[in-house]
Amino acid sequence: MAAPCYLGWDFSTQQLKVIAIDEQLRVIYEDNVHFDKDLPEFKTQGGVYIHSDRLTVTSPVLMWVKALDMILEKMKSSGFNFSQVRAMSGAGQQHGSVYWKKGSIQILKNASPELPLHQSLKGCFSVGDSPIWMDSSTASQCRALEKALGGAQHLASVTGSRAYERFTGNQIAKIYSQNPEVYKQTERISLVSSFAASLFLGTYAPIDYSDGSGMNLLQIWEKAWSKPCLDACAPGLEERLGCPVPSHSVLGPISPYYSQRYGFSPDCKIVAFTGDNPASLAGMRLQEGDIAISLGTSDTLFLWIQEPTPALEGFYFDVMEITPEAVGIHRFNRDNQKVPRFPKEVEIRALIEGQFMAKRIHAEKLGYKVLPRTRILATGGASHNKKILQVLSDVFNAPVFTIDTANSACLGSAYRAIHGLVAERNVSLADVVKLAPEPRLAVTPTPGAEELYRPLLKRYAELEQKVIYNPASSCLVK
């Protein structure tokens, strides 16, 4: 009998990735489908469509389904033994939403194993192009939500965040206000993560607490939908979202479609899928005092803070940033004057330094302090680049560690699949991942870097405020 294994999936912005691990947590299989390269018929750039207003950013839902068909066929032709998979979990790019047309659940449940899944599901989506995390076209919906909840601070105290343009509740509100008929035809709204889980489950998968907290809709303390938030976004929204569930929930067995088409065991369990960032944290095994940074399509910083200082509230912003809320490229010389261009070698250094300085500044605003024991755990595609990691180490004045695979969201999802099977016995994720290899030291700070960056960080913070409060200004700032 084949040794058991566990799958972790990552439906990210540019690729669909999969990892299989054995019971000793060793990676035994890894593969991916690159949307632009492997599915050119969808004509995406970086896995997305950036619309003419530069604010609206979407991805075709069927591209994600077809990518799943493609990667499973690749696994099959490589001789992968699907019958040994005991459980799987996965991750999806956060905030994106998928709209299932009325009657789609029956099609999902009864998909023919003779056909690739994308052929069965091609008529199932009331919105063909899903708004994703890069979309920032919902400013008016954000203002309306904050007003309905009595202000940004009150909304943040309920949902954990003020209204953000890319958060799912505001995206749903936009679709309802612009296309009420489309909304009416929708029987279920999934996040990308719960959509992906639904494909494997053969029925609508619930949203997990962690990914659900990035929607401006979930009461984070009670772990239930906020009725005032739902009502402010669209009517009948609660039944379209379903009930949120704990992130370690076993949702059920895999759909018979996969047993019949690929040979999965009918006993293979689907553990709730979550967002790519929390899945990455599981893969990187963040400990108290650590900083984790994902150097992928979006640079994302994760912090473990005991006493956070919530705030309502980097100069290269091709699309609108969440923090800081700015767009455009803003270059300043050493006299703090705006300039139109830098030499190429200065430009690339400024871009990388600026990203990392902004992250340290905003981490410290939230109450984080870099201590002598602080470790930075780096993941994502750019974590292979030692020169980038050196700048990161110097800016934060802390050593940088990496893990063997840059696909930490996949790896974390595979760990979470194992955890889902034992969570009811009060086994923690930390216990599950004890066998996993420790992160490896990649770089340490250059001597004297802290003395160099301390005044630069102060200057950067001051310039960032000028950009935020006067973003359209093209005059020199003296």
332 pLDDT more than 90: no
Unique residue bearing structure tokens 């009918």: 266
322 pLDDT more than 60: no
**pLDDT digits 0-9 by tens, 358-414:** 888 888 877 778 888 889 999 877 888 999 999 999 999 999 998 777 788 999 999
Which pLDDT score is estimated for 117?
98
Residues 44 and 98 in one domain: yes
Q: Mean per-residue pLDDT for 210-222? A: 95
Residues 254 and 365 in one domain: no
- Percent of the chain exceeding pLDDT 90 equals 68
Confidence band, pLDDT 50/70/90 cuts, at residue 180 = very high
| Residue 111 covered by a domain | yes
Domain stops at, among 255, 278, 301: 278
- Counting Cα atoms < 13 Å in the Cβ hemisphere of 447 gives 0
Residues 381 and 463 in one domain: yes
CA distance 409 to 405: 10
**pLDDT digits 0-9 by tens, 447-463:** 999 998 888 888 877 77
Which pLDDT score is estimated for 357?
87
Confidence band, pLDDT 50/70/90 cuts, at residue 329 = low
Highest mean pLDDT among 151-160, 379-388, 400-409, 431-440: 151-160
413 or 465: which carries more pLDDT confidence?
413
Residues 209 and 323 in one domain: no
CA distance 174 to 162: 17
Residues 301 and 392 in one domain: yes
The token duo for 474 is 């093209």
Residues 253 and 108 in one domain: yes
CA distance 35 to 42: 8
| Residue 320 covered by a domain | yes
CATH number of the domain residue 243 falls in: 3.30.420.40
Confidence band, pLDDT 50/70/90 cuts, at residue 20 = very high
- Per the CB < 8 A criterion, the answer to whether 124 and 107 are in contact is yes
| Residue 477 covered by a domain | no
Domain stops at, among 278, 301, 326: 278
Which pLDDT score is estimated for 477?
24
339 or 429: which carries more pLDDT confidence?
429
Residues 247 and 368 in one domain: no
Q: Mean per-residue pLDDT for 211-230? A: 96
Which pLDDT score is estimated for 309?
55
Which pLDDT score is estimated for 206?
98
Q: Mean per-residue pLDDT for 97-116? A: 98
**Residue 458 neighbours by CB under 8 Å, 6+ apart:** none
| Residue 474 covered by a domain | no
- Per the CB < 8 A criterion, the answer to whether 162 and 156 are in contact is yes
Residues 38 and 147 in one domain: yes
Confidence band, pLDDT 50/70/90 cuts, at residue 472 = very low
- The structural domain count of the chain equals 2
Residue 243's alpha-carbon distances to 107, 207, 211, 226, in angstroms, are: 22, 7, 13, 12
- Per the CB < 8 A criterion, the answer to whether 103 and 126 are in contact is no
Which pLDDT score is estimated for 403?
79
| Residue 17 covered by a domain | yes
Per-residue burial over 233-266, b = 16 or more CB atoms within 10 Å of its CB, e = otherwise: bbeebeebbbebbebbbbbebbbebbbebbebbe
The token duo for 239 is 């039944």
Average per-residue pLDDT for the chain:
89
Q: Mean per-residue pLDDT for 132-161? A: 96
Q: Mean per-residue pLDDT for 84-109? A: 98
Closest among 392, 407, 108, 370 to 258, alpha carbons compared: 108
46 pLDDT more than 90: yes
61 pLDDT more than 90: yes
**pLDDT digits 0-9 by tens, 276-316:** 988 988 888 877 788 888 887 667 787 766 665 555 547 32
> What is the CB neighbour count within 10 angstroms for residue 471?
14
Residues 293 and 273 in one domain: no
| Residue 117 covered by a domain | yes
**pLDDT digits 0-9 by tens, 241-271:** 999 999 999 999 999 999 999 999 999 999 9
Which pLDDT score is estimated for 474?
31
Mapped to the 3 state alphabet, what secondary structure does the chain carry?
A: CCCCEEEEEEECCCEEEEEEEECCCCEEEEEEEEHHHHCHHHCCECCEEECCCCCCEEEEHHHHHHHHHHHHHHHHHCCCCHHHEEEEEEEECCCCEEEEECCHHHHHHCCCCCCCHHHHHCCCECCCEEECCCCCCCHHHHHHHHHHCCCHHHHHHHHCCCCCCCCHHHHHHHHHHHCHHHHHCEEEEEEHHHHHHHHHHCCCCCCEHHHHCCCCCEECCCCEECHHHHHHHCCCHHHHHCCCECCCCEEEECCHHHHHHHCCCCCCEEECCEEHHHHHHHHHCCCCCCEEEEECCCEEEEECCCCCCCCCCCCEECCCCCCCCCCEECCECCCCCECCCCCHHHHHHHHHHHHHHHHHHHHHHCCCCCCCCCCEEEECHHHHCHHHHHHHHHHHCCCEEECCCCCHHHHHHHHHHHHHHHHHHCCCHHHHHHHCCCCEEEECCCCCHHHHHHHHHHHHHHHHHHHHHCCCCCCCCC
Residues 300 and 234 in one domain: no
94 or 304: which carries more pLDDT confidence?
94
Which pLDDT score is estimated for 21?
97
Q: Mean per-residue pLDDT for 218-237? A: 97
Residues 323 and 447 in one domain: yes
| Residue 350 covered by a domain | yes
Which pLDDT score is estimated for 328?
56
**Residue 378 neighbours by CB under 8 Å, 6+ apart:** 292, 293, 295, 389, 392, 400, 401, 402, 442
Residues 112 and 173 in one domain: yes
Confidence (pTM): 0.83
171 pLDDT more than 90: yes
Q: What range defines the domain where residue 399 resides? A: 285-469
| Residue 178 covered by a domain | yes
Domain stops at, among 278, 312, 329: 278
